[in-house]
Structure 1
Amino acid sequence: MSVSPPHNLSFEQYLPVFEMLRDQCSAAANWEQAEQTALSEMECMVAGFTKEYRNYQEHQKNREFNLKKATILHDDGAFENWYTGARTRIGIWPDYKEKLNLPPEAINDIDESTFQILRRSANPRTEGEKRKGLVLGYVQSGKTANFQALIAKAVDEGYRIIIVLAGMHNNLRKQTQTRLEHDLDLTTSSEKKTAWLNLTTPDEDMPQNRGMHTQLNNFSNVAIMVVKKNNRRLQNVQEFLERIDDEVLNHRPVLIIDDESDQATPNTLKGKEAVSTINGRIRDIWGAVKRGTYVAYTATPFANILIDPTDEEDLYPEDFVITLPKPEGYLGADKFFNTSPYYDSEESENEEPIQALSCPVPVEESTVLVPQGRDLSRYSPEITPTLEEAIYWFVLATAIREIRTGQRKHSSMLVHTSHRTEAHTLLKDVVDGFIQSLSLDFPAHEEKLQKVFNAHIGRAEALRQQEIIPSWKRLLPQVKKVIEKITVKVDNGYSDDRLIYPEDDPQTVIAIGGGTLSRGLTLEGLVVSFFLRSSNTYDTLLQMGRWFGFRTHYADLVRVWVGPGLLNDYRHLAIVERQIREEISSMNKEGKRPRELALKILTHPGRLDITNPSKMTEAQVVKAGLGGTRKQTVYLNRAAHAIEQSHRTVQSFISEALAEAETVHTDNQGNHLIQSIGNSLIVEFFRDFWVADRWMKAETLESWLKEHGSDAHWDVLLVSGKESSPGTFSYTDNLNVRTVSRTPLKSQSWDHSSVSFEVPDDAELINIRALMSAEDTTLDAKILHEQGLLDEEETQRFAALTRDDVEDVKFFRKGFAPRTGLVILYVIDKNSIPRKNSSSREPMNSSDHLIGVGLVFPQAENEDPHDYVAVKNTFQPTYKETSEDDETDLLLRDESDEEQE
């Protein structure tokens, strides 16, 4: 007989009881039967529970998610919204959630992103269903915590075999195994209704003939294994699956987590019939799965993106692609490099950290510390001035952090000069000797230590927040304690004394190594990196950037010493990474599917390759066009005669534009919008006005317009500065503007060798890094909106626009006057001065105001001004630059120097 629930109990309070009953029933039945049996029992106790539960499921299915937290591409046609949300109180996920030592916001992000991943994974209750997806995180950003949460939720929902592919190195596999055992209680016996069958241990990878497959006959048992990407180990996994009775395996959903999925997994042989060893093994494992999901995790998806999407047997993420949110407090590429294509150099707070956090290593020191050639008999490393400074700062920063937190924690310094294992041992001996000297003869080092302290402690004030700066007198005793605790270790494929971070024994360690330190492995408390080893490939170089991550209480203390050219390489990679995420976001807004992803990856000709050439067998160089892109003059000629010429050119141009224009609009801030100018006048202006960017030159513009913009027209925007600006400029007698503030980079802080364009012999070249702000590219719409000249749809879209959001701006302009280009003119004040805390800029000190030009091209399909690599046959280039070097942009050098174990 049914009974009415007491008034003081709600549906939410009964839900854990139902889940417990369902778990009990699932041991003896499949999931659907278990759910129905549990519902029947609950209905007998609580009248109306079944209806409440179905309403709850429907609510969970329809719940909204914030695209700014996790951007998702998925195939709507194949998407079944089966997952209704994590269990409330009983299960692996609730237990794991309690153990997460993270702020509530971070836990919510993990909860939300794994909700989105799991609801797009295969339904464990649907026979024969299989899904493949890609999750894009950030280097050192907590991907492990995310996939552990996914495992927990998947097991709660009925997944019964968990396979974690943990990179190619023993130490990474061991680290992953240890974390899973601790965080998910894999080794703890309990009374729970799910029991872990742990097939691997920290000291044992997947062995042959593991005889635990029969224990999967009990649905409550969950097999889990952490496996290195090794041919023999993967074959053992395949054989384990094949030994399971077909009827049992049909009802034991499999979740494969491929951590660092861009390493070893992609096929390195050309053609659908040719399959590389590791790729073939993972395909075979996936082929043995009857129902389940393959989820590839990576922070460097270049190789994954270049998998052939038409090869159904390969591992292309055809069902979903998800970009994880950047966690709060994460020090990523955008903290080190400002990668925005728009940012206003005088309004940005983010351009300084790279100057504060990075320190160059001179070429002459690099040649001492990096082995030259294969013969190591002449390699004799020594403590160079910058290496000495880096070690001093490591000691100081560790001591400062301990004073701030009041406790000792793991603290690491990375020294990465070569992939050669013999070189690591030779360098260790030198560093050991220096640390011994520090300990035994401290007074001889004290003066230098204080000098380094004074030079570095104020460099990154913007990142310090409320953290204290101890006095030298307070710091000195702590420094001595730190020195006594330092150990120097070599971590590579041949070292016996590997990096270990015991939970109850904080380590202060200088780690010298190569490949094993550059992929996946977490260096706890990494505060200093001394990094000279380069790489020819995007993914390897980005993974080497172990300094990315969380640096609570010591973000301002992080330092990176890098060799010649590496800062520019990393800035380029940061831009590539941002563009990939932006394109995924843009495709999501346009409703495109993962099979249409085929992302273009910006090349770096003559300097870096995207990934190992063997992973690019399905790639081609594509040149698209200029449609919808934004360009700006960041290199300016400050010579007096050049400024005079630019004034005459823009004044003549505006006079002719006014004669041709249909209308002119002026807003209350003094910005002027001149509408409907023809192509020929725009081309003639750029013929007379000197610009460095080849994509803004008249010849390029004229060629592109003939092919793609014959029906285009242009608006001209004259930007007026703040009311407090002291300078003014007259384009005509009736059109005046106030000057804007922009300042040049100090000459020594930018790479003059990167200037590849033709510079006049008498030029006084300066680099302002950025001219435009994001808001400027929609200022035309703002002016028309204020004057009531937008139609109803445009008004609604503008009202919803976040004008300082790059993605929002790009999406808005695609629908706003798509066949109208925009020329934006700025008058830069001759007396512009940098912010007080700027260490990289200097006053303008010009003879007169300078002219800067921004350009927004009319829209065109499948176009971009750079060379990109994409999967073959996925892009049809529409604009081809005339060049005999088109085929040389993909000169790929094989650097297969990752240490294998």
Structure 2
Amino acid sequence: MEIQMQQETEEKFLPVFGIRATELFSRFASKLQPDELEKLKTETVSILKDCANPSLNKIQNTTNLVVGYVQSGKTMSFTALSALASDNGFRVIIYFAGNKNNLLDQTEKRLRKDLINDGKNRDFYKIHKNPDLGDLNKICNELQISSRPSILIVVLKNYKYIEQLAQIFDSQKIKNELKNSGVLIIDDEADQASLNGYAYKNSKSEEWEDDEYTATYKSIMNLRNSLPNHSYVQYTATPQGPLLISIVDLLSPKHHTVLTPGKSYTGGKTFFVDEPGLIIDIPDDEKFNSKRNNLTEPPESLITALQLHILSVAIVVKILKTEVFLSMMVHADREQDASQKFNSWVIDIIDGWIITLSSSENDVAYKTLIRQFEKNYEEAVREYKKHNETYPDFSEIKKHIPDIIKETNIELIISKSKRKSEDIPWDDYPSHILIGADMLNRGFTIEKLATTYMPRYSIGKSNADTIQQRCRFFGYKRKYLWSCRVFLPQDVQTEYREYVDHEEEMRKWLKENDSLEEVEQLLLHTPHLNATRRNILSKDIVTSKLSGWRKINAFQSNSIAPNKKLVEKFVADNERNFSLYKNFNSSDRNHRYLKLKMEEAVSFISEFIVQNMPDAARKQATLRYLKYLMTKQKTPLEFVYVIQMAYAGEPREREFNVETEKIDTELFSGHSPKGIEVYPGDREIKFEDSICIQIHNIKFKCENRKWAGKTAYTLAFYYPEDFATNYTGKLNESDL
């Protein structure tokens, strides 16, 4: 399978605001302050200008990364990007809208609202959801419409639907319509499902060609291969995957943009650094786990959280009237049985309160319940007092409590219920309580969330991106922030604080560094980010795949010319630095070498284009290995050997398989006793004190006219065994 490696385009273009982007931003002006709107414009242009120029009729593509906070407005960013892309020659915009149907439907609904605008912009945009070959003619017809609409394609992040899309774009009819125009792929939640899920398993195989690739990942590669001029933009709030080992492949981004949240955004820094009083402890004996601590009755902290939620609704909705409703989330455990248990408890508690409050005010149970609410009132207004904000007396709140409890809508959000965010009757009730786990994570919007109760029992250290995606309590909450409360166990709070430090430092690096390679180096060598270090290179990769000789085996016609230009320029620039390896008295066996500084070696390998997955993985792993070796604190590696094979002779002829586009015979010339000097074979042309890179110039031998007689350069790498030993010995086991 041929895969086109992303390439930086030489021809940059400056996006211009046309009628579509201007119209969209005029509507956004009612939601954003002037400086926020201007920032959105600037960042949208920044993202698009790094994309491949859509007006050039040539093979080109690029991959970019956009990093935002959780619940911070990434969707607004990519709808703005879509409108600007439509103004600037992108006729097709594809959205990978998550791997669940609720995320797919949510994205489609948002695009219809923001871009098509209740049909007012139907001349500008046509939308399709999960199209197949049956939609090919319709898409072709739409591409021929005189108003030149952009075709918006929303697709589930699943191999079945992405493969169908690849088949559509493989059609010659579509290719003809897309001449001199580009395709934009927007991968929402790019750290989920898109990346190769077999990365760890592949580290155990002995050769790159034996690697496996998840079906979704492979289908994305097939789609990109069917698009000659396209840009792939990854949106994520958790860039650990796209920035580290998970992208030692063809999805690796070359440019990045950090989104600025609006002024009213409240995220991890707000809750865990600036306003830690918004966090409330869940005692260890009230943490929930179906196996380790399967509670049999509702914990006191849950009852407290429910009462604080009712009090916050009274303050914010009924008295201050700054919101029309508020919500509470209960996230106990990923098992659906746990959500059902907590749902039953919440219903029983609310029903019990309704019965109690329906009795006489002189009833003992009534008085006891009101005293509980009055006791929690001090917590409910604590942050208002602290920040000198207006708040009501309990006597004013008390009269609203019975009605709020009776008007509370309770929703169980698990896969069995099939409830979506848009199915919730948000405006019909002043109070909502949503109970669930994984269904309430990524992509589910809990409107006006004020109170979060999350008693999950933490077993071992959580993945940073996983705990962040549970942060539904992040968002635009500034208007009612002093009524927000987040109930968490102490160990989970510690994980969040560590993550916030991690996130803020990463965003700082991303803003300050133009190159993702520079950011990656900071990540790899920062001690307090050890949780991410296991993603550098596994011990198995270093000791098996980065030892001995490894060759780049595949060739694609569109990479041969740029690689030839790269190698010949490199040789010309270093002509005076080469030395003869040894005189074997034959132009085919005489080779020369030079010592190349590590920085220059990294640059040379980076620019050498490879276009199939095993070779791309080999190349990227080599780059990471070199970067590690060159930055070791005690004994950094300063140079590598570059060996130009048969430098004075003709290109060496090799059998070529047209179907696989690989050399069918051995790249290396073997041992030969003939001649004045015994030739040890190409494998012995190496040094043991550093990594070696052989440059081979070969001539294809085959019957195919396209390939026969064509010459091309390829590379072979030699990794001395001592370096693998040194690598795995120096790194702590916990780092691997």
In structure 1, C-alpha distance between the alignment counterparts of 2:182 and 2:429, rounded to whole Å = 40
Secondary structure, counterpart of 1:889 in structure 2: helix
Code of the residue aligned with 1:459 in structure 2: it is E
Task: Give 1:566 shift.
Answer: 0.9
Contact between 2:524 and 2:536, CA under 8 Å: does it hold in 1?
no
Task: Give 1:478 shift.
Answer: 2.9
| Superimposed CA distance per residue, residues 686-717 of structure 1 (whole angstroms, 9 cap, x where no aligned partner) | xxxxxxxxxxxxxxxxxxxxxxxxxxxxxxxx
Aligned to 1:365: 286
Aligned to 1:879: 633
Question: Which region of structure 1 is more displaced relative to structure 2, 439-448 or 557-566?
Answer: 439-448
Task: Give 1:130 shift.
Answer: 2.1
Task: Give 1:517 shift.
Answer: 1.4
Within a 5 Å distance, the mapping from 1:604-615 to structure 2 comes to 609-610=531-532
Secondary structure, counterpart of 1:393 in structure 2: helix
Task: Give 1:587 shift.
Answer: 2.4
Aligned to 2:308: 393
Please tell me whether residue 217 in structure 1 is matched to residue 155 in structure 2: no
Query: Residue 553 and residue 264 in structure 1: after superposition, are their counterparts in 2 closer, same or farther (change >3 A)?
Result: same
| Superimposed CA distance per residue, residues 159-196 of structure 1 (whole angstroms, 9 cap, x where no aligned partner) | 11111112222222222222221122265155x7x432
Query: Aligned to 2:375, which of 444, 447, 451?
Result: 451
Within a 5 Å distance, the mapping from 1:212-611 to structure 2 comes to 212-215=138-141, 216-218=143-145, 220-243=148-171, 244-269=173-198, 270=202, 271=208, 273-307=211-245, 311=249, 314-318=250-254, 320-338=255-273, 350=274, 353-354=275-276, 356-366=277-287, 369-372=288-291, 379=294, 381-403=296-318, 406=321, 409-442=324-357, 443=366, 444-459=368-383, 461=385, 464=387, 467-499=389-421, 500-501=423-424, 505=428, 508-533=431-456, 534=458, 536-588=462-514, 593-601=515-523, 609-610=531-532
Code of the residue aligned with 2:128 in structure 1: it is L
Please tell me whether residue 85 in structure 1 is matched to residue 16 in structure 2: yes
Contact between 2:332 and 2:342, CA under 8 Å: does it hold in 1?
no
| Superimposed CA distance per residue, residues 618-639 of structure 1 (whole angstroms, 9 cap, x where no aligned partner) | 5689xxxxxxxxxxxxxxxxxx
Pairwise CA RMSD of aligned residues? Answer: 3.3
Query: Residue 197 and residue 76 in structure 1: after superposition, are their counterparts in 2 closer, same or farther (change >3 A)?
Result: closer
Task: Give 1:496 shift.
Answer: 3.1
Secondary structure, counterpart of 1:197 in structure 2: strand
In structure 2, C-alpha distance between the alignment counterparts of 1:397 and 1:516, rounded to whole Å = 25
Code of the residue aligned with 2:376 in structure 1: it is V
Query: Aligned to 1:197, which of 107, 122, 126?
Result: 126
Secondary structure, counterpart of 1:554 in structure 2: helix
In structure 1, C-alpha distance between the alignment counterparts of 2:530 and 2:285, rounded to whole Å = 23
Within a 5 Å distance, the mapping from 1:176-187 to structure 2 comes to 176-185=107-116
| Superimposed CA distance per residue, residues 758-817 of structure 1 (whole angstroms, 9 cap, x where no aligned partner) | xxxxxxxxxxxxxxxxxxxxxxxxxxxxxxxxxxxxxxxxxxxxxxxxxxxxxxxxxxxx
Aligned to 1:105: 35
In structure 2, C-alpha distance between the alignment counterparts of 1:153 and 1:296, rounded to whole Å = 17
In structure 2, C-alpha distance between the alignment counterparts of 1:501 and 1:604, rounded to whole Å = 44
Query: Residue 210 and residue 410 in structure 1: after superposition, are their counterparts in 2 closer, same or farther (change >3 A)?
Result: farther
Question: Which region of structure 1 is more displaced relative to structure 2, 226-235 or 386-395?
Answer: 226-235
Task: Give 1:886 shift.
Answer: 4.2
Task: Give 1:584 shift.
Answer: 2.3
| Superimposed CA distance per residue, residues 247-279 of structure 1 (whole angstroms, 9 cap, x where no aligned partner) | 113344211111110111111223575322211
Task: Give 1:476 shift.
Answer: 2.3
In structure 2, C-alpha distance between the alignment counterparts of 1:303 and 1:418, rounded to whole Å = 24
| Superimposed CA distance per residue, residues 73-116 of structure 1 (whole angstroms, 9 cap, x where no aligned partner) | xx9984644225323xx324423432451222221211111011
Code of the residue aligned with 2:401 in structure 1: it is V
Contact between 2:329 and 2:434, CA under 8 Å: does it hold in 1?
yes
Aligned to 1:117: 47
Please tell me whether residue 889 in structure 1 is matched to residue 722 in structure 2: no
Task: Give 1:392 shift.
Answer: 0.7
Task: Give 1:571 shift.
Answer: 1.0
Secondary structure, counterpart of 1:441 in structure 2: helix
Secondary structure, counterpart of 1:457 in structure 2: helix
Contact between 1:268 and 1:617, CA under 8 Å: does it hold in 2?
no
Gaps of 5+ in 1: 1-74, 339-349, 622-869, 892-901
Query: Residue 96 and residue 503 in structure 1: after superposition, are their counterparts in 2 closer, same or farther (change >3 A)?
Result: farther
| Superimposed CA distance per residue, residues 413-456 of structure 1 (whole angstroms, 9 cap, x where no aligned partner) | 11111111122112211111111112222335221111111133
Gaps of 5+ in 2: 1-5, 203-207, 358-365, 541-622, 636-725
| Superimposed CA distance per residue, residues 543-566 of structure 1 (whole angstroms, 9 cap, x where no aligned partner) | 112212111321111111112311
Task: Give 1:498 shift.
Answer: 3.9
Query: Residue 130 and residue 503 in structure 1: after superposition, are their counterparts in 2 closer, same or farther (change >3 A)?
Result: farther
Query: Residue 174 and residue 485 in structure 1: after superposition, are their counterparts in 2 closer, same or farther (change >3 A)?
Result: farther
Code of the residue aligned with 1:455 in structure 2: it is E
Query: Residue 250 and residue 92 in structure 1: after superposition, are their counterparts in 2 closer, same or farther (change >3 A)?
Result: same
In structure 2, C-alpha distance between the alignment counterparts of 1:390 and 1:880, rounded to whole Å = 53
Contact between 1:131 and 1:292, CA under 8 Å: does it hold in 2?
yes
- Percentage identity across paired residues of the two chains: 24
Within a 5 Å distance, the mapping from 1:658-737 to structure 2 comes to none
Code of the residue aligned with 2:302 in structure 1: it is L
Code of the residue aligned with 1:94 in structure 2: it is E
Code of the residue aligned with 1:362 in structure 2: it is P
Query: Residue 620 and residue 440 in structure 1: after superposition, are their counterparts in 2 closer, same or farther (change >3 A)?
Result: farther
Secondary structure, counterpart of 1:458 in structure 2: helix
Task: Give 1:282 shift.
Answer: 1.4
Task: Give 1:398 shift.
Answer: 1.9
In structure 1, C-alpha distance between the alignment counterparts of 2:455 and 2:196, rounded to whole Å = 30
Query: Residue 594 and residue 554 in structure 1: after superposition, are their counterparts in 2 closer, same or farther (change >3 A)?
Result: same
- Number of positions where the alignment pairs a residue of Structure 1 with one of Structure 2: 530
Code of the residue aligned with 2:330 in structure 1: it is V
In structure 2, C-alpha distance between the alignment counterparts of 1:587 and 1:296, rounded to whole Å = 18
Contact between 1:196 and 1:221, CA under 8 Å: does it hold in 2?
yes
Code of the residue aligned with 2:395 in structure 1: it is K
In structure 2, C-alpha distance between the alignment counterparts of 1:84 and 1:521, rounded to whole Å = 32
In structure 1, C-alpha distance between the alignment counterparts of 2:176 and 2:626, rounded to whole Å = 41
In structure 2, C-alpha distance between the alignment counterparts of 1:457 and 1:208, rounded to whole Å = 59
Secondary structure, counterpart of 2:479 in structure 1: coil
Contact between 1:238 and 1:288, CA under 8 Å: does it hold in 2?
yes
Secondary structure, counterpart of 1:300 in structure 2: coil
Code of the residue aligned with 1:552 in structure 2: it is R
Contact between 1:395 and 1:483, CA under 8 Å: does it hold in 2?
yes
Code of the residue aligned with 1:399 in structure 2: it is A
Secondary structure, counterpart of 1:91 in structure 2: helix
| Superimposed CA distance per residue, residues 499-519 of structure 1 (whole angstroms, 9 cap, x where no aligned partner) | 434575456321122222121
Code of the residue aligned with 1:104 in structure 2: it is P
Query: Residue 185 and residue 501 in structure 1: after superposition, are their counterparts in 2 closer, same or farther (change >3 A)?
Result: farther
In structure 2, C-alpha distance between the alignment counterparts of 1:226 and 1:77, rounded to whole Å = 26
> Whose helix fraction is larger, Structure 1's or Structure 2's?
2
Contact between 2:24 and 2:80, CA under 8 Å: does it hold in 1?
no
Task: Give 1:603 shift.
Answer: 9.8
TM-score, structure 2 as length reference: 0.66
